[in-house]
């Protein structure tokens, strides 16, 4: 879905806005998730997230989504899974050192971030991936954290 992924990055601002509406909605539904039980919701939510984000971003389900900070280009598609910017091996045509047929994920991310309202987030240093969260729904974990912060509420 290489083409879709490019298209999304070109329209990063739209997707940024969409997510900005989507996240509070999910957080509002916290009582519902809590009632159903986060553990029980995990599997269907994961499936939906995988489907949607897989189609749009070639999401690799790292479980700690940073798309809003990376111009809507998924950094896990970088063959070195870099989370903080391009390596020094980018080709002069902007393509990847490891996969010459692919445009560098971070060249895309930079372009995408330039269109976004909060593109400056690309300058924030990202923590390394927590491998325990691989394959889990990052939407749910964001919602859970956000709800906890809002309510001071134990899940």
CB 102 → another protein: shortest distance, Å? 12
Q: Which CB atom, from 39 or from 131, has the smaller least distance to another protein?
A: 131
> What is the Cα–Cα distance from 9 to 111, expressed in whole angstroms?
8
Number of residues near another protein (by CB under 8 A) = 30
Which neighbouring-strand residues pair with 95? 103
Q: Does 35 help bind another protein (rule: CB under 8 A)?
A: no
- With residues binned 3-state (H G I as helix, E B as strand, rest as coil), the percentages for the chain, rounded to 5, are 60, 0, 40
CA distance 74 to 54: 10
Q: Shortest Cβ distance from residue 127 to another protein (Å)?
A: 6
Residues 110 to 139: which contact another protein by CB under 8 A? 110-111, 123, 125-129, 131
Enumerate residues 73-112 that contact another protein by CB under 8 A.
Answer: 79-94, 97-98, 104, 106-107, 110-111
The first and second tokens of residue 58, run together, are 């070639």
CA geometry: angle 64, 15, 75, nearest 5 deg: 40
- Pick 25 or 131: Cβ nearer another protein: 131
Q: Using CA of residue 143, residue 144, residue 148, residue 153, what is the dihedral sign? A: positive
Interface residues toward another protein, by CB under 8 A: 79-94, 97-98, 104, 106-107, 110-111, 123, 125-129, 131
């Amino acid at each position: 879905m290489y083409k879709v992924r490019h298209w999304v990055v070109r329209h990063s601002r739209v997707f940024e806005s969409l997510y900005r509406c989507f996240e509070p909605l999910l957080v509002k539904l916290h009582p519902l998730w809590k009632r159903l039980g986060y553990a029980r919701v995990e599997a269907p939510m994961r499936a939906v997230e995988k489907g949607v984000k897989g189609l749009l971003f070639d999401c690799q389900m790292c479980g700690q989504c940073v798309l809003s900070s990376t111009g809507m280009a998924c950094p896990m598609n970088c063959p070195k899974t870099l989370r903080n910017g391009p390596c020094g091996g980018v080709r002069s045509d902007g393509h990847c050192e490891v996969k010459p047929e692919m445009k560098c994920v971070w060249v895309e991310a930079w372009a995408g971030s330039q269109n976004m309202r909060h593109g400056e987030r690309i300058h924030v240093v990202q923590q390394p991936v927590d491998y325990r969260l691989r394959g889990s729904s990052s939407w749910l974990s964001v919602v859970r954290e956000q709800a906890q912060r809002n309510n001071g509420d134990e899940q």
